[in-house]
Amino acid sequence: MKRRVSGWWLVVMLALLSTLPLASHAQTAVWPTAGVTAPSWRQLSPEQKKLLLAFAPRWNRIPPRQRQKLLRHAQRWAQLPPQRQLRIEQRLQRWMSLNPQQRARIRYNLRRMRTMSPRQRQRLREAFARYQKMSPQQRQVLRQHWREMSPGERDRWLPWHDNGQQPVRPRQPAEPVRPNTVKPSSGNP
């Protein structure tokens, strides 16, 4: 378990740190450090060192504010029950297995959800709960209907649209053209 914790922290913290400027720029106006202190690696407790092991080589180069933030995260992590830690690790592994397009889609949907009203979010949660209760066959039918809908039909179908309309039924696909049903023209008008 401890090995997984270190690996989890490495991935999460690297992701956090990747959004920050390089340590050589740490003393610029990006991070006002006046009066901000954070312990050096030697000052950390053995438990903190164990949780933050992935940062050992560069800990003292990390800006003080960021070190404080990492310490707070480590403290919260240590206080989580083991089941919660395992659940977080599993979610992180699932996230890491996604390709960049899948991650971008999730980020987009999250931003979209943040712009919804509380009522819209509640309706979406209820719809998701109903979806979770469906059998695999019912889900497949729903996905097929979704693919057959036009964008306008989809907008009316979605539970977070408060347009007062009932969900539309998907269009029935046109009858497929059979290759041998059309007689070749003779070329004469």
Q: Binning pLDDT at 50, 70 and 90, where does residue 83 land? A: very high
Residue ranges per domain, the chain?
2-95, 98-157
Residue 50 above 60 pLDDT? Answer: yes
Integer CA distances (angstroms), 50 to 7, 12, 44, 97, 189, in order: 11, 15, 10, 26, 87
Residue 36 is inside which H or E element, if any?
none
Is 110 in contact with 135 (CB distance < 8 Å)? no
Is 41 in contact with 59 (CB distance < 8 Å)? yes
Compute the distance between CA of residue 35 and CA of residue 108 in angstroms, rounded to an integer.
38
Residue-wise pLDDT tens digits, 141-155: 988 988 898 888 887
Residue-wise pLDDT tens digits, 7-27: 444 445 444 444 444 444 443
Question: Which class for 73: exposed (0-12), middle (13-18), buried (19 or more C-beta within 10 A)?
Answer: middle
